[in-house]
Amino acid sequence: MFARWDRMAKQFTRVGKEIVIAVKAGGPDPATNPALRRCFQNARSVGMPKDRVEAAIKRAQGKDTSNYEEILYEGYAPHGVALLVETATDNHVRTVANVKSHFNKGNGAMGNTGSVSFQFKKMGVFKLKPEGLDSDELELELIDHGLEELGESTDDNGNAILVLRCAFVDFGKLQKALEDKGITPISAELEWIPTTTVPVSDAQAEDVSKLIERLEQDEDVNKVFHNMA
């Protein structure tokens, strides 16, 4: 139970930072701010209360609000697995020191910009409830709006979902197409998808997972992506 609460608190913090960044960049009106609409969808997906969302918007409009900077760090976990670490920080000196320490203590190695990101492709990822949707028909309708992949998957609770992927530059176009069709995604994220993967044993996967978990527990880290098969 405590682990679930910690995970939920971490998700709320991440989405809260994303809301602040989105409001500062594009204003507090979701009708004219696609990034903020994406944040709202993701807030719903993690069960973030409405008052927490509203508080984040007000905080973003305050004069004393921290200016978060989004920084991507790269490196290798044990056994040659590439990692991308997305952060949102108001103190990059602290963050880079912490991330480097996590890599070292997890038997990994932090790299320079571009050292592993070439092994990934940044894509928009939309997750939808499949009820009432014909996946084949939906795929045909959305191809002209940037859709590259559509597949079936399950969420953390084993419920069936549809996963749509598009190129990073087409994120807004696909988001609008879904809105025009009256489809509200469970979540809408920008993710780094590996173009190649590294096979690992169960024991090696555990080593990598320990480092990922260590990184994810850092308050400045939003997400960690890997190319572990």
CA 219/CA 59 separation, integer angstroms: 18
pTM of the model: 0.87
Residue 95 φ/ψ, nearest 5 degrees? -65, -45
The two structure tokens encoding residue 54: 């509203």
Q: Would you say 223 and 125 are in contact if contact means Cβ atoms under 8 Å apart?
A: no
94: nearest Cα among 222, 218, 6: 218
Average pLDDT of the chain to the nearest whole number? 94
The two structure tokens encoding residue 35: 């990034």
Q: Which amino acid is at 64?
A: D
Q: Would you say 24 and 67 are in contact if contact means Cβ atoms under 8 Å apart?
A: yes
pLDDT tens-digit series, residues 173-218: 999 999 999 999 999 999 999 999 999 999 999 999 999 999 999 9
pLDDT tens-digit series, residues 15-57: 999 999 999 999 999 999 999 999 999 999 889 999 999 999 9
Please give the domain boundaries of the chain with CATH numbers for all domains.
2-61 (1.10.10.200), 69-118+195-226 (3.30.70.980), 119-194 (3.30.70.980)
pLDDT tens-digit series, residues 114-135: 999 999 999 999 999 999 999 9
